[in-house]
Amino acid sequence: MFALDGKPVCGACAAQRPAEQKSAGEKLQLGRIVDKTICSVCKTDHGDTDLPLIGGLPVCEACAHKVLAWPFPVWLKAAMAVLLLLLGWALWHGRHYFPAGRHMVLGERALDHSDYRRASDEFTQVLKFRPDIQKAILLGAKANFLAGDPDRAMRFFHGSAHYKHDALYNEVMALFKHSVDAVSKARRANELDAAGKFDEAARLMTEAAEEYPQSQNLVITGQLYSARAAFYRKDYDAALRFTDAAWRSAPDDPNITASIAAALAAKYAVTGEPQLRAQAEQMLEKARQLSDRSPADHEAYLAYAPRVKYRLDSRQIIDGAEYDRRFGKQGAQH
């Protein structure tokens, strides 16, 4: 029952009449009539006896306990128990994934910090869990492409033959294409260098390095090829500049250190400035120390050191071939 402006009305009228009156410009006060003798829960009519109010509604004694502590049905308790068991099962089921997921996160973090070697190792760990996880394959390959190691990058692709073509896939494929094109140009540059076409070789190797700048090897080789080409053009300033750029990228490489010594010696031969000679001797000594680390480097040092010393002592600039012709074959350093 409802009260409309104080008059009792049924449910249907309570729903209909206020709207009619409103459209006619009148506003009615609508409220629910609570019969305090009828229990709000079980609807039992208790005659003339007013029931106690709980939360503003009349509730009989039998229902009062239920209202104040509404019972959880047995099926609900069972369902909640099943839900908790399912949650336990889900976490148990997921336990295999968690270590692999951790390696994935650490790999991505290392990749973000340009720590490509660490990233590669982490993604390798993920693939030990399952070798066909595309994201780990692609990120592992990406880490190695960015590290300038395309051979190692390609090894990541062995785990799967089919890939979903998403943004990461396209990014890695672009890196792959750049690396392939660059390696192809570098091979051609090597052939030109072997044929004595130093300017063309230097240009092509520089193009290869620009195509795939992540490869430190290509960048340094491009600089050394440019230095060699400059040397044969007798542009010793440029030769020194290119060699110096390469040496700054790999200061612990004994061969590049020796190349710096050779370039400084060439400039000394032209200018006669004692300071240049001192620098050349200093770099040659550094190259000797660095070459002690491996027998191959030491052998190379023994081949080029006499030529650099000859250049410093005689102030004559001759290439490796001419040196070998005069004094016997000892190496191919300019």
Partner 1 sequence: MIPGIVISVLTFPGVIVHEAAHLLFCRMAGVAVFDVRFFRFGNPAGYVLHENTADFKKTFLITMAPFFVNSALCALFCSAAFLPIWEFQMDDPLAYFFYWLGLSIGMHAFPSNQDLKSLWRLMPAEARKSNVLAIASYPLVALVYVLNLAKFIWADLAYGIAVGILVPMAVFRFLA
Positions in the binding site for partner 1 (CB under 8 A): 40-41, 54-57, 59, 67-70, 72-73, 76, 79-80, 83, 86-87, 90-91, 93-94, 97-98, 100-102, 104-106, 109, 130, 133-136, 164
Return contacts of 280-283, CB within 8 angstroms, 24+ apart: 280/308, 280/312, 281/312, 283/257, 283/258
| Residues 6+ positions from 15 with CB-CB distance below 8 Å | none
CB nearer to partner 1: give 62 or 87.
87
Taking each helix axis from N to C end, the angle separating 295-314 and 254-271, rounded to the nearest 10 degrees, works out to 0
Q: Which is nearer to partner 1, 58 or 222 (CB)?
A: 58
Q: Which is nearer to partner 1, 91 or 278 (CB)?
A: 91
Specify the residue, 40 or 333, whose C-beta has the smaller distance to partner 1.
40
Indicate the burial class of 54 (C-beta count within 10 angstroms; 0-12, 13-18, 19 or more): middle
Beta bridge partners, 32, equal 2
- In residues, how long is the chain? 334
**Residue 55 beta carbon to partner 1: minimum distance, rounded to whole angstroms:** 2
CB of 142 to partner 1, least distance (A): 16
Looking at the Cβ atoms of 69 and 167, the one nearer to partner 1 is 69
Could you tell me the two tokens for 196?
Answer: 């004595």
Instruction: Locate all alpha helices (DSSP H) within the chain, ordered by sequence.
Output: 11-23, 61-68, 74-94, 97-112, 116-129, 134-146, 150-155, 167-194, 198-211, 216-232, 236-249, 254-271, 274-291, 295-314, 320-327
User: In the complex, what is the shortest distance from the CB of residue 100 to partner 1, in angstroms, rounded to a whole number?
Assistant: 7
CB of 172 to partner 1, least distance (A): 16
Nearer to partner 1, 132 or 313 (CB): 132
Cα(119)–Cα(138) distance, integer angstroms: 12
CA distances from 325 to 155, 191, 200, 306, 332 (A): 45, 23, 26, 14, 12
Give the shortest CB-184-to-partner 1 separation in angstroms. Answer: 33
Nearest approach in angstroms of CB 177 to partner 1 is 24
Q: How far is the CB of 49 from partner 1 (least distance, A)?
A: 20
State how far the Cα of 54 lies from the Cα of 58, in Å rounded to an integer. Answer: 6
Q: Quick one: 56 or 328, whose CB is closer to partner 1?
A: 56
| Buried-state track 211-247, b at ≥16 Cβ within 10 A, e below 16 | bbebbeebbbbbbbbbbbbbbeeeebebbbebbbbbb
Considering the complex, state which of residue 136 and residue 269 has its C-beta at the smaller distance from partner 1: 136
- Read off the tokens for 102: 């951790």
In the complex, least distance from residue 131 CB atom to partner 1, rounded to whole angstroms: 12
User: How many Cβ atoms sit within 10 Å of the Cβ of residue 164?
Assistant: 9
